[in-house]
Amino acid sequence: MSFPVLAQNTKPEILRRTATFHPSIWGDRFLNYDSEKVKNDRTKQQVEELKEVARREVFRAAHDSSEKLNLIDAVQRLGLSYHFEREIEEALQHIYDQDHDQDGDLYDIALRFRLLRQHGYNVSSDIFEKFKDERGKFTESLVSDISGMLAFYEASYLRLHGDETLEEALVFTTTHLKTAASKTTDRMSEQIICALKQPLRKSPERLQARQYIAIYQDEVSHNKALLELAKLDFNLLQSLHKEELAQILRWWKELDFANKLPYIRDRIVELYFWILGVYFEPQYFLARKILTKVIAMASVLDDTYDSYGTFEELQLFTETIERWDINLKDQLREYMQIIYQTLLNVYQEFEEEMEEEEKYRVHYAKEAMKILVRAYFEEVRWLEQGYTPSLEEYLEVALVSTGYFTLSTTSFVGIMEDNIITKDVFEWVFNHPKIVEASQIICRFMDDIVSHKFEQEREHVASSVECYTKQYGVSEQDAYDELNKKVVDAWKDINEELLINPTAVPRPVLIRVLNLSRVIDLLYKDGDGYTHVGKATRESVAALLIDSV
């Protein structure tokens, strides 16, 4: 809907495209956090002691590969793999090199396959052919093995283009797991329902851990040291994350954007949660702060271009951001001056956080932000012209306007560990690698499918749904089906990029892009969980930032 709003420093009324977004649902809940330093120091000591116990019991005492794979799976799903990266890699390398025996039941073979593919080993899906009958169909005897079916289902999400066996496996397991879930009310039923909604490949790691701790403690054969370590570690990290969020919130409150820019989505808690999905480990505290502030500024800019600024204002704003000079601030509208000043301040702060030899990283981050703003303005131009592009033309701009190229680039800026971030990493991401494009595709189509109707209630540029239906003369549902197929293919692209050996850049770099895709799947699967914060988003935020284990 369009209606007149009195802009600052202007006498005539200006017609603005204004959306109505609900205010933050959190109030000041996370603003004040008292660090429990003494308690946390004691917990850290307990964690270190339990890590040594786990090393003995998981990586040294386990003898056969089946037992070791089960323990590695538990370590990962409990959110503890960052403590044991070297041990996990050594164990999986040994299993890959030595264990060529294809004997075993469906559960063991599916688990081995999934863990090896997750860690970059390109094992063949042909190992599942043994579970087919003479007609080439999976044998019905597998259906009663619920644990095996669930493991096979999870393995199918590591499929590549042309992986027909795993395509069949996904249909087969999904169909029978849905039936199994409806016939039982025990803990296994809860696991099935959870997996059908959010398979491990698409699930943010911290949420996986929160859910799996409850499952693991009910397993009769659980490792007591691992379980205790997982609980202590989860609560310790939650304490750290709450402290970080309180600092971010103080910055946000001081900006007072909710009052100065009342047209924006006030979602700083949800944005910090988003970035927790990219990296949760304690060593990434600086990276989290940088990326949270950048995604917050990107959201403010998105709403300004999408829901408030006029064409003329936005044209000047875009040119001013391109020049990145604080002396140009006064030529902007007052509300834009606030945004511009903050934007430049944020990146100046990043530079001050960097050592001299690291400051080049901020240059790449700035350029990535300029690229995003250009895309926002190109969409404004289309709207001004009343133009609906072809899907191909739309994607040239709209993949960039997801912000996922900018976020991918910026996610590397604050990573200081192990010297993995170099100029080569930034040159790589600026050359549009397939994994980043796949992440953009997932973001763009999932976002458009769930949000385009709300956006079209006001003057808004056409989404991929409108572009597709106009170009091909099909229904909305046909467009949804086709765009969802492209999302599925994009996940296969991500899987393939993570199996290239050697990878173009260090694996932790690629994992950031994978994790960005996981957050999109979570927030946009059943609606726009960022713009319209509902039950699912509230519960996810609470699981990581409110409820201790």
Residue range 115-145, pLDDT digits in tens: 999 999 999 999 999 999 999 999 999 999 9
Separation CA 451–CA 263 (nearest Å): 18
Domains of the chain, by residue range, sit at 37-229, 256-546
SS3 261: coil
Query: Minimal CA–CA distance to 128: which of 118, 494, 120, 114?
Result: 114
All residue ranges of the chain with pLDDT < 50 are 1-11
Q: What is the pLDDT of residue 118?
A: 97
- 147 — phi, psi (to 5°)? -60, -40
Q: What is the pLDDT of residue 397?
A: 98
Taking only the tens place, the pLDDT of each residue in 344-379 is 999 999 999 999 999 999 999 999 999 999 999 999
CA distances in angstroms from 452 to 18, 247, 255, 300, 462, listed in the order given: 15, 34, 30, 19, 8
Q: What is the CATH number of domain 37-229?
A: 1.50.10.130
CATH architecture of 256-546: Orthogonal Bundle (1.10)
Is the distance from CB of 305 to CB of 376 less than 8 angstroms?
Answer: yes
Q: What is the pLDDT of residue 100?
A: 63
Q: What is the pLDDT of residue 376?
A: 98
Q: What is the pLDDT of residue 13?
A: 73
List of long-range contacts for 464-467, beta carbons under 8 Å, 24+ apart: 464/391, 464/394, 464/395, 464/398, 466/388, 467/388, 467/389, 467/390, 467/391, 467/394
Separation CA 432–CA 434 (nearest Å): 6
Q: What is the pLDDT of residue 1?
A: 38
Q: What is the pLDDT of residue 32?
A: 86
The letter for the amino acid at 412 is F
Q: What is the pLDDT of residue 184?
A: 74
Separation CA 487–CA 443 (nearest Å): 9
In degrees, to the nearest 5, what angle opens at C-alpha 503 toward C-alphas 420 and 443? 90
